Amino acid sequence: MPIKSFRGLLVDGGTDIVSLHTNTGSTGYRIVKFSLMCKQPGAGNQESVVKIYKIPQTTAIPTAGATINFSDNTLLAAGIFTASTNQKTDPEDLSVIFDNEVFNQDIYITHTDNEGSLDINYYIELEQVKLDLNENTVATLKDIRNQ
């Protein structure tokens, strides 16, 4: 199936919405790639936490944004990007984990920088999946139940 890519720049405490919903819900998506990159290398110390959710996040991002809870069934992916002004002794580091779950609604990307207030770039590739009526119903009901 086709791969769709999305990219953007998130400010500290920011949220992006990737609009994926359709009228019929017959198109599903699965994350196949998730990557992060700083906006300006060497600009300062950075410890960014970026998460992808199936539902909008209502908790204050600066306090809750640094917590990663894989028991949260609305969390699709999480990534941590760290960088230092001293690249020779503290090189950049990136860790990302994403779920293999198929979803058919919008996704919400959040960012928190625990070390300062630097921006972060994200890049996501989603595999498009054709859903039959049963799969469509299950994916939609799971998203509705999580809200």
* Tens digits of residue pLDDT in 130-140: 888 777 766 66
| 15-18 and 27-38 beta bridge pairing | unpaired
CATH of the domain spanning 3-146: 2.60.120
* Tens digits of residue pLDDT in 22-64: 888 789 999 999 999 998 887 888 999 999 999 998 765 544 5
Give residue 116's pLDDT band: very low, low, confident or very high (50, 70, 90): confident
pLDDT (mean) for 56-84: 82
Burial class (CB in 10 A: 0-12, 13-18, 19+), 36: buried
DSSP per-residue codes, 54-123: SS---S-HHHHTT---TT-TTEEEEEEEEE-S-TTTS--EEEEEE----B-S-EEEEEEESSS---EEEE
| Structural domain spans, the chain | 3-146
The Cα–Cα gap between 22 and 25 comes to 5
